[in-house]
Structure 1
Amino acid sequence: MPDARVIPLHADRPVPRTTTPSRPRMEQVPPPADTTGATPAETSPLWERRLADTLAFLRRRITGDYQVDEFGFDRELTDNVMMPLLRPLYEKWFRVETIGLHNVPSDSGALLVANHSGTLPMDSVMTAVAVHEHHPANRHLRMLGADLVFRTPMLSSIARKTGQTLACNPDAERLLRGGELVGVWPEGFKGVGKPYKDRYKLQRFGRGGFVSAALRTRTPIIPVSIVGAEEIYPKIGEIKLIARLFGLPYFPVTPTFPLLGPLGAVPLPSKWYIEFGEPIRTDQYEPGAAEDPMLVFNLTDQVRETIQQTLYRLLTQRRNVWLG
């Protein structure tokens, strides 16, 4: 199989255009004036354009005529395969509503920090869909994942191709300096795997490594609050023996799993809200501020408290878990 070309993180990515070849005219009759200004490709039936785009995409995959960056991010695969697969889940199943996307910059780096929940980390995936599908610039969210993700066969490859990378400061800083949007869920497994009785109560935010990365790159921190993910897999217990056997942080027990087998893996259709808060600036601090542990602690606490208070507000405005 041919190899894809590797491009720098900040390099321009040309978008291929499909043109319709001209046909010989049977008569020397001037064509009617086009008052719409549309090209032949734009006036062709929708199904023809989609078929042409699909065939062109498949040709590029077969010949290796596509690009990935140094992290392994395959932009074309994400746009043409992954996003269409996730869109029905986002729009029809969870019916996600976004608030405050204007706070996310259109052409510069920012660090998005969100709460984590749901037994399986679907909240991070839905946040990436929200940024790509509803932000005016259709930006990609480069998520920082746990090492378990990159130790798991197949999942590791999918994560890399969709723009994820290991949750470590060097990678986060390289992405931020490259002008990318970086997503981090600092509660980690403590948040995503907490019992249902502790829903919407934020866990500890680690040692504030994400704040240090933002300070070193002088990029804003955007608090993100997600309501709805806590109810998709209500965790009422766990089986520790199975978790240890497979090297997992936990093996969950929900009202439907493992009782209903594979059917129990279907998430419950809760109504979601994702709010992107006002950016917390870091460019106002002096160089070297990332080495000040008290400043890092205070900013970490500020981000955590902002998210927690926003969650409480969104919950008071929500009328029903399933209908919103």
Structure 2
Amino acid sequence: MPDAEVVRLDDRADRRRGGEEPPADAPTRRGLAARLLAALGLDPTADSDALAAFLRGRLEGDYPVDEFGFDVELTEQVFLPLLRPLVRSWFRVELRGAENLPTDGPALLVSNHAGALPLDGMVLHSVVFDAIGRHPRMLGADLIFSTPFSADLARKTGTTLACPEDAERLLRAGELVSVFPEGFKGLGKRYADRYKLQRFGRGGFVSTAVRASVPIIPVSVVGSEEIYPLLGRLPTLARALGWPYFPLTPTFPWLGPLGMVPLPSKWVIEVGEAIATDELPPGAADDPMVVFDVTDQVRETIQQTLYALLMQRRGTFF
């Protein structure tokens, strides 16, 4: 600590011992409480009783969740504020095409998936909420819900199981839903295959969107491939652990827990124009050819946008 600061703090301590009041701008318990409130996303001008009430509600289980387990209060006041430094300062995410995000009504966001760990879903949640004030309800794979901590966090922050029934219920309720059709095939791509989209499954997300007559909005993410450059997958060890792959990166597992720190790649997220589904003929959701054509259109749109973004960026980390 600089000498000038030490003297100032010592002088303040002497004044307190002598009964002298500290200066008006000196830190106080109330000021520290305000900082804690701000860190949790609560109003820093509010009384510390607000923090006590928030924590008491957590401990007593007295807080609302929806039928899927989504905890809006926890997400907005704790999860997103903790995530924002990663999004804004570490990855320096730039959102393009925010005008294509619907401010109301149901829609399906469809994005590429990469990065060994599903950080891209959380980052997308953060930037969409900050842009339009809506929570994208992410559809997650079975593995997320078979791990205790992961399952609890996913449910509470708005993720639900990636199945047609849950997706359709959310869309019919007017929610904004996000899906990553590449699944673990996308997350587990080798670094040599970065930004080459994997197969989009069988187009189940298209059938769901068509059945609910909601627009499909393609989302292209550049930067996620470099946070954990995947060099190998160790299939034998992965099967033993029940994982789809065991990630070998330049830092993991060689550096232990430090190897889990993502590299600070520069992210660009571009939201494309909506692809309408309400003009398709009746029964289109059950027509394999229609589903294939729309799926291919969405995939090709994302792939071409990724190529364009890669051509535009100056470098991986700036």
TM-score range, shorter chain: 0.7 to 0.9
Is 1:279 the counterpart of 2:283 in the alignment?
A: no
* Alignment match, 2:172: 177
* Alignment match, 1:157: 152
CA distance in 2, matches of 1:130, 1:50: 29
CA distance in 2, matches of 1:255, 1:221: 36
Matches within 5 A, 1:1-324: 47-49=44-46, 51-135=48-132, 138-323=133-318
CA distance in 2, matches of 1:80, 1:95: 21
* Residue type of the alignment partner of 1:97: E
Distance 1:203 1:259, change over 3 A: same
- The range that moved more, 255-264 or 215-224, is 255-264
- TM-score normalised over the length of structure 1: 0.83
- The range that moved more, 202-211 or 58-67, is 58-67
* Residue type of the alignment partner of 2:63: Y
Contact 1:216 1:287 survives alignment (8 Å): no
CA distance in 1, matches of 2:45, 2:202: 53
What are the Cα deviations for residues 278-310 of structure 1, in whole angstroms up to 9, with x where unaligned? 000011123321011100000000000000000
CA distance in 2, matches of 1:274, 1:81: 23
What are the Cα deviations for residues 115-172 of structure 1, in whole angstroms up to 9, with x where unaligned? 011111111110011111122xx10010000000001111111111111111110100
After TM superposition, give the deviation of residue 273 of structure 1 in Å: 0.5
CA distance in 2, matches of 1:161, 1:64: 13
CA distance in 2, matches of 1:221, 1:50: 44
CA distance in 2, matches of 1:205, 1:222: 15
CA distance in 1, matches of 2:129, 2:51: 20
CA distance in 2, matches of 1:163, 1:157: 10
* Residue type of the alignment partner of 1:319: R
- Higher share of residues assigned helix: 2
* Residue type of the alignment partner of 2:190: P
* Residue type of the alignment partner of 1:101: A
CA distance in 2, matches of 1:62, 1:259: 38
* Residue type of the alignment partner of 1:282: T
Contact 2:209 2:216 survives alignment (8 Å): yes
After TM superposition, give the deviation of residue 106 of structure 1 in Å: 0.9
After TM superposition, give the deviation of residue 240 of structure 1 in Å: 2.1
After TM superposition, give the deviation of residue 52 of structure 1 in Å: 4.2
What are the Cα deviations for residues 165-199 of structure 1, in whole angstroms up to 9, with x where unaligned? 11110100000000101110000111110100000
RMSD: 1.2
CA distance in 1, matches of 2:242, 2:226: 25
* Residue type of the alignment partner of 1:82: F
Secondary structure in structure 1 of the residue aligned to 2:307:
helix
The total of aligned residue pairs comes to: 276
Identity of aligned residues (%): 64
- TM-score normalised over the length of structure 2: 0.84
